[in-house]
Amino acid sequence: MFFNWLEREGLVEVSPFRVRVDIPRLPKSLPRSLGSTQVAKLVSACRRDTWAGVRNYAMLLTFVDTGVRLSELLGLDLSDLNLGEWSIRVRHGKGDKERHVSMGRRLHRAMRAWLSARGVSVVEDALFTSRNGARLDKRNVQRILQRITDRAGLQDVSVSPHRLRHSFAVQYIRNGGDPFSLQRILGHSSAGTTSIYVNLAGRGLREAHAKASPVDRLGGG
């Protein structure tokens, strides 16, 4: 850009970058995730004795149990939740690609509690709403997460929906999940993007291999 400016100003006749020059690439930074202990503190700090607390608990578990993006969570409608199939339909991902993500037992119970508290008389179809029935927006969720983070005593940690997404992916691999199913869950079009989490999982992969080693499970000496 500097040489293009020099050329436009007439300070050099021709920018040397008009000839093919490979621009050095900055190393790609790895996504930051929360440890399992930090996630556990967040979940424990989420109150469940109020209407908003029940909602916030279900919302937090949705982030950490499914890895959905903030925009995807905000776009969820009641019709996207299938408690019978233990799944959530995500229709507002990148490229408007539809996918289904599964719920664990804890999130399933939290969703049932939230639906009971939410009621069916709300005009808005949104899964997560405010007290007046309006769909939550980005700022609502950010404020809610900040309050939970402060209550958990994690003031020195930046907790965002995207970091929770990274945390889900890393813990999924460490807990024995495979990269191919993780790619589908996260809605990645490229396996290369998902492979980042395999590298971040580190020691957890070695432990998973120790449990699932095909050779070790053959038996004998």
Element (H, E) at 102: strand 99-102
43 closest CA partner among 121, 142, 145, 119: 145
- How many Å apart are CA 131 and CA 221, to the nearest integer? 64
- How many Å apart are CA 9 and CA 105, to the nearest integer? 65
Could you give the residue numbers annotated as active site?
69, 94, 162, 165, 188, 197
Q: Is 129 left (phi over 0), alpha (psi -120 to 50) or beta?
A: beta
Exposure string over 27-60, b if 16+ CB within 10 A, otherwise e:
eeeeeebbeeebbebbbebbeeeeeeebbbbbbb
